[in-house]
Amino acid sequence: MYSMGEIPGDPERFVETAGREAFLIKKTVFLFAILFCLLLCPFGRAEEKYSKNYFGAFDTVVQLIGYTDGQETFDRAADALMARLLEYHEAFDGYHSYPEVHNVWYLNRYAGQGPVEVPDCLFDLLSWCKEVSAQVPSKVNIAMGSVLSLWHEERERGLEDPSSAKLPDRAALEEAARHTDFDDVILDPENRTVFFADPELKLDLGAVAKGWAADQAQKDLMETMPSFLVSLGGNVYAGDAPADGRKHWGVSIQNPEGTVLSALQTDYLDVLYVDHMSVVTSGDYQRFYTVDGENYCHIIDPDTLMPAQNMRAVTVLCESSGLADYLSTALFLLPIDEGTALVESLPGVEALFCAMDGTVTMTEGMAAVARSHGATSGD
Amino acid sequence: MFKRRDILLGLGILLAAGLVFLLTRIPILNRKPKNLVRIYVNGQLYAEEALGKERDVTVSQPGGAENVVHLTENGFYMARSTCMNQLCVYQGDVTEENYAARFLGTHVLCLPNRVDVELVLEANAADPDAPDI
């Protein structure tokens, strides 16, 4: 830009008052024109809907839907999300080892011999578990790995060869159950180490890992792509409202009679219209195997050491996905009436129960966002 | 004090701004090719196909995994897969009409082969109360 005095040719002209005034007015007009153009810019580029499914993390499918200004922004957010989830997956995996990762598998093997330094995410998750189990006492016990692994082994074997499927040995289950005290898991915040005071104890983070991971992922996505919906194998978190004019995302609740990957699912149990909320379901249809015509699900009651049989499924709605995940398992382990009472005692938590006979009941706050009670995406 | 040229330039700028604004709002000009099918393998885009005429798209992966996606006029279905459980084949067809009633919405998933097929619809074709997930 030239300053006025530097305009070549005729400097005197601009010293003249009238000339200067005209120049200023012109300047103003141009300024407004430019501002006007800038104001219009955002309208030219509407946010569009993108979605992608990933495999691998937590042995399930991760679905990400988001509204953003282009494929590139979406891919960047999605790739960062997946990188984080894969890191968690390795750290929380109790059944596989990974090079140089002191994960749950490693702890289950070596933490009985002495303190083991663990990745930050694993330490943070275990600390969170200590807190939540103190605040909301329940039957959920992440130190029940030795019992759960017996069920896990039989289930895997039974799924591979259904004709030889059998239940775990009762005596082995009872022996394993003697080594499930979460208080024996000693956390040292200073050195970020974990020590098992009971060397036979094993961790299994299945009831909390996905939810806790969703909470962390959610924070990233709020920065990179705020209008999003993410599902870690059914562990759903909804961010800002969808940027297409709707006020809420529609999150369907699967009917336990269908299977996750079945064809048409015209009869959802219900649809919840939510934003800034997590929705997590625990059901007997998610992971199970069959012995002598009877289905045995993956959620084990620590009292009976057998699969819980209180309901087909329960869905929890609350702001924290970790809490929703934890509570959905906790409620699955309780009779429906006791579960309902527990939920009603917790502020900001809602639940929907599907009883053994298929009857659906829900708390008031859940009904307020449920399609079956007249809610829509625009309310 | 305003020269004719200044006024013309100013008006020109306004006109251009208005034109750009209007052009971006006319749906026909912004319409993406109607209804696409995107095929992802392992989370990476493998192919993007416009719907129109019936045809098969074969997704071959090193190691022998193979899926055949059959495109129809208004949707697609998984015609064949080398996977062991064949759930992707049972997931049936996805069309603009039926996606809202499907559990996986606009997607067909083959978990064993890590193949994800998506029907990409024009945004405003959606029923606002259909579940997103």
DSSP codes joined into one string, B30-71: HPPSSSEEEEEETTEEEEEEE-SS-EEEEEE-TTS-EEEEEE
- Shared domain check, B50 and B112: yes
Worst-scoring range by mean pLDDT, A17-21, A96-100, A346-350, A367-371?
A: A17-21
Q: Are A98 and A86 in contact (CB under 8 A)?
A: no
Amino acid identity, residue B30?
N
The pLDDT of residue B124: 46
Q: By residue range, what is the domain housing residue B23?
A: 1-31
Give the mean pLDDT of A182-201. 96
**A371 neighbourhood in chain B, CB within 8 Å:** 129
How many distinct structural domains can be found in chain B?
A: 2
How many angstroms separate the CA atoms of A212 and A210, rounded? 6
Tell me whether residues A252 and B133 touch, CB distance under 8 A: yes
Could you tell me the residue ranges of all domains in chain A? 4-44, 246-379
Q: Which two tokens stand for residue A355?
A: 């009883």
Residue partners of A171: CB distance under 8 A and separation at least 6: none
**A260 neighbourhood in chain B, CB within 8 Å:** 103
pLDDT higher than threshold 70 for residue A95: yes
pLDDT higher than threshold 60 for residue A67: yes
What would be the CATH architecture of the domain defined by A246-379? Roll (3.10)
pLDDT higher than threshold 70 for residue A18: no
Please state the ipTM of this predicted complex: 0.71
Mutate to test the interface with B, among A26, A53, A59, A278 (most CBs of B within 10 A): A53
Mean pLDDT of chain A: 88
In chain A, which residue's Cα lies nearest the Cα of B24?
Answer: A44
Among B17, B91, B107, select the one facing A36 at the smallest CB separation.
B17
- CATH number for the domain harbouring residue B73: 2.60.320.10
- Please tell me whether residue A23 adopts helix, strand or coil conformation: helix
- Shared domain check, B44 and B26: no
**A20 neighbourhood in chain B, CB within 8 Å:** none
How many angstroms separate the CA atoms of B117 and A41, rounded? 34
The pLDDT of residue A5: 44
The pairing of strands A249-253 and A270-274 is: antiparallel
Q: How confident is the model at residue A45 (pLDDT cuts 50, 70, 90)?
A: low
In the block, which residue shows the tokens 């959610």?
A218
The pLDDT of residue A1: 45
- Shared domain check, B66 and B12: no
Q: Which tens digits make up the pLDDT trace of A108-136?
A: 999 999 999 999 999 999 999 999 999 99
For A125-162, the DSSP string reads: HHHHHHHHHHHS--S--TTBHHHHHHHHHHHHHHHHSG
The pLDDT of residue B23: 75
Residue whose C-alpha is closest to residue A262's, from B91, B24, B38, B106: B91
The pLDDT of residue A44: 46
How many angstroms separate the CA atoms of A74 and A83, rounded? 14
Q: How confident is the model at residue A262 (pLDDT cuts 50, 70, 90)?
A: very low
Give the mean pLDDT of B31-46. 79
- Shared domain check, B82 and B63: yes
Worst-scoring range by mean pLDDT, A97-106, A226-235, A304-313, B14-23?
A: B14-23
How many angstroms separate the CA atoms of A233 and A219, rounded? 19
CA distances from A32 to A9, A24, A39, A212 (A): 28, 12, 10, 50
CA distances from A86 to A58, A60, A341, B33, B133 (A): 8, 11, 37, 35, 22
pLDDT higher than threshold 50 for residue B96: yes
Q: How many Cα atoms occupy the beta-carbon half-sphere of A267 within 13 Å?
A: 6
Residue partners of B49: CB distance under 8 A and separation at least 6: B36, B37, B39, B57, B71
pLDDT higher than threshold 60 for residue A227: yes
Q: Are B84 and B96 in contact (CB under 8 A)?
A: no
For A302-317, the DSSP string reads: TTTSSB--S-SEEEEE
Q: How confident is the model at residue A7 (pLDDT cuts 50, 70, 90)?
A: very low
Residue whose C-alpha is closest to residue B127's, from A104, A158, A300, A271: A271
Residue B133 falls inside a structural domain = no
Residue whose C-alpha is closest to residue A64's, from A53, A75, A74, A55: A53
How many angstroms separate the CA atoms of A306 and A144, rounded? 13
Among A29, A249, A260, select the one facing B10 at the smallest CB separation.
A29
Give the mean pLDDT of A1-8. 46
Chain B nearest C-alpha distance from A22 (Å): 5
Residue B132 falls inside a structural domain = no
**B130 neighbourhood in chain A, CB within 8 Å:** 250
- Shared domain check, B57 and B15: no
Tell me whether residues B91 and A44 touch, CB distance under 8 A: no
Give the mean pLDDT of A229-235. 91
How many angstroms separate the CA atoms of A177 and A169, rounded? 12
